[in-house]
A = this chain, B = another copy of it.
Amino acid sequence: MVIPVTEIASIYGPVADDVPAVGEQLRRLSHNRHPLLGETLAHVFDTGGKRIRPALVLLSGRLGVYRRDELLTLATSVEAVHTATLLHDDTIDAAITRRGLATVSALWDSKVAILLGDFLFAQSAELAARLNSVRIMTLLSETVMDMSSGELRQYSSTRDRTIDQGDYFARIRGKTASLFAMCCEGGAIVSSQTDEEVRRLRDYGMNLGLAFQIADDVLDFTGDDETLGKPAGNDLRQGTITLPAILLAEQLPPESPILQYLHAGIEHGEVIRAVEQSEVLETALQSARTYAQRALDALCHFPDSEAKDALVHLADTVIARRT
């Protein structure tokens, strides 16, 4: 979801003015420890990104007591975590570009990308510690544990060619939804909301994250080179079996060659065509819509407000996205 800056205002509503401040804070992290650190951090943060996670922190905070400085600190911390995971993911996948710019591992090398990711994980913890809240610190560290173990699960599944919905949902919960959930939960905690409200916002974030990742996995099959910057079916080519392929496998007779290609991990164009020509993409999108609806349900007890409208709109945007 590449959102032009001009559209951020309409999507992020009452926090649209504060989201860019997160970018400023991130750039200020590029301090003078030594030149290589400043240079690489500047490159990473200049790449931009849609800042959906910081926006979730700020919008959730808007539903309570909007402590702008504290919420911006937390928003900067979660974006640092997200950036650290992207750095390590790009290293693991040997990716050459990210958001249209060369990756750190391509421009410098994988050593620099690993160490910069480590630095940003620590920086995120240092930012979170500024909030003086052990509850937030615990939440952050448990979330990063969920994320890295979710990625390890993805690695195991790829190696073992696991074709299983339960495994898929455990993976995307760890690798994507847990950080979305943390953003909303953290924003609610910092803005002094009740335990019930904290729980509901976490629920919103978790379901939004699941919807977001499923939509992303569908987009991997439906997008074209130009909008995605990679060929359709790229995940499958890399050995990652996502929901559409799992749904397809469930429908195929055991003797189907398609199923055998999937199990053997053969990068066969026929599998990608079979996914594209069946109704599994629509079924997967339906699943994304179900999670988006659960996200909306979690919001229903909050009184109407601009921030709530923006959170509702965000859930709609996530499942409607085409790029």
Contact = CB atoms under 8 A, between A and B. Distances in A.
A128 B147 CA distance: 19
User: What is the predominant secondary structure among interface residues of chain A facing chain B?
Assistant: helix
Interface residues of A, number: 47
Contacts of A121: 118, 121-122, 144
A152 B113 CA distance: 10
A144 B129 contact: no
A156 B111 contact: no
A122 B134 contact: no
Give the number of copies in the complex: 2
Interface in A118-170: 118-119, 121-123, 125-126, 128-130, 132-134, 137-138, 140-145, 147-149, 151-153, 155-156, 170
26 contacts: A34-B152, A34-B156, A36-B153, A84-B118, A88-B114, A88-B115, A88-B118, A92-B111, A92-B114, A112-B152, A115-B151, A115-B152, A115-B155, A117-B118, A118-B151, A119-B144, A119-B148, A121-B121, A121-B144, A122-B147, A123-B145, A126-B138, A126-B142, A129-B137, A129-B141, A137-B137
A254 interface: no
A140 B115 contact: no
A130 B137 CA distance: 10
